[in-house]
Amino acid sequence: RKEVEQDPGPFNVPEGATVAFNCTYSNSASQSFFWYRQDCRKEPKLLMSVYSSGNEDGRFTAQLNRASQYISLLIRDSKLSDSATYLCVVNPGGDKIIFGKGTRLHILP
């Protein structure tokens, strides 16, 4: 099993819809979790951290399920500008972080 797995997509979603995608991780001792966003031919940028209690930032909600070893990202009222690749990032301990391959999201007008 890969350390961090994501559905590569693409997810083609009409503007205004809600979209959610998950990311699974293999190391049950993983400490910290993040979602990064990467636009085409640009660098990744931190979108949000994922806390045990879940967290929300505007239209974005991130949740952690330790029992099933996955994190999720929910985007409500999607905008055209949300089109990007969303990278799941896991810290398995220490200072190393592991990136998933990313999920491509296309918001359709």
Partner 1 sequence: DAGVTQSPTHLIKTRGQQVTLRCSPKSGHDTVSWYQQALGQGPQFIFQYYEEEERQRGNFPDRFSGHQFPNYSSELNVNALLLGDSALYLCASSLTSSSYEQYFGPGTRLTVT
Which positions lie near partner 1, rule CB under 8 A?
4, 8, 32, 34, 42-46, 49, 87, 89, 91, 94-102
Minimum CB distance to partner 1 smaller for 5 or for 76: 5
- Give the nearest distance from C-beta 58 to partner 1 in angstroms: 19
- Cβ within 8 Å of residue 94, ≥6 positions away: none
**Torsion over CA of 40, 46, 48 and 50, rounded to 10 degrees?**
110
* Whether 105 contacts 13, CB under 8 Å: yes
- Give the nearest distance from C-beta 74 to partner 1 in angstroms: 21
Minimum CB distance to partner 1 smaller for 74 or for 98: 98
